[in-house]
Amino acid sequence: MYYEEWIDGAWHRLGIDGEMLTGRAHHVIYFASPEHWQNYPEWARHRRDEIIDRIKSEFREPDYEYSSGGTAGAAVGKKVPSPVTASSATPQQRRALLLAVVLVLGIAVGMAWLVGNGLRKGETYLPGKRASQQRSVLRSQEPALFWGSIGIYSAIGLGALGLAVWGIRQKV
């Protein structure tokens, strides 16, 4: 576990020991002893009670137990790395994003074809979970169902297109 705070434009993290339990409490959190706490970074060194109170306010009894004397994890005082951005993405991550963009664009194109074909012919398919519900809907005979189906396909297509544009903007 860890405790984080945003300080001077960066996330700072303290490792907190803990483990899962079987029994009344599902977890136990081990706080460093006051002596060991003095080895923490300066920003946290004299704020032990405040930090422990914050943690206890989020992880309350009876689901959590607390114990003093932990040594804290290896992440003590380390700055948290910034999230992965397109410029720092690995080639494998970029390929995965490209594949996702291509697939989502395929959905958008498919929905555009379905809407365009339905408008041109005046006939579309009723979107349904079961094959027995999927049938042709004629605009002249069932206008509400026709326009409802076209609206659903349009919403799916526009959503897929928006997702693809977002992926492209991430600099695939």
What does the radius of gyration of the chain's CA atoms come to, in whole angstroms?
27
Map residue 67 onto helix, strand or coil: strand
Q: What is the pLDDT of residue 150?
A: 92
Q: What is the pLDDT of residue 90?
A: 79
Burial (CB < 10 A; 0-12, 13-18, 19+), residue 109, is: middle
Backbone torsions φ then ψ of 27, nearest 5 degrees: -145, 155
Q: What is the pLDDT of residue 24?
A: 76
Residues 106-157: tens digit of each pLDDT: 999 999 999 999 999 999 988 877 777 778 889 999 999 899 989 999 999 9
**pLDDT over 60 (residue 43):** yes
Cβ atoms of 14 and 76 within 8 Å: the answer is yes
Rounded to whole angstroms, the maximal C-alpha distance in the chain is: 81
**pLDDT over 70 (residue 4):** yes
* Element spanning 100, H or E: helix 91-121
How many Cβ atoms are within 10 Å of 25's Cβ, its own excluded?
A: 15
**pLDDT over 90 (residue 17):** no
- The alpha carbon dihedral of 71, 77, 80, 81 has a sign of negative
Residues 51-100: tens digit of each pLDDT: 999 999 988 888 888 887 655 543 444 444 545 555 566 788 888 888 99
Q: What is the pLDDT of residue 74?
A: 36
pTM (2 d.p.): 0.48
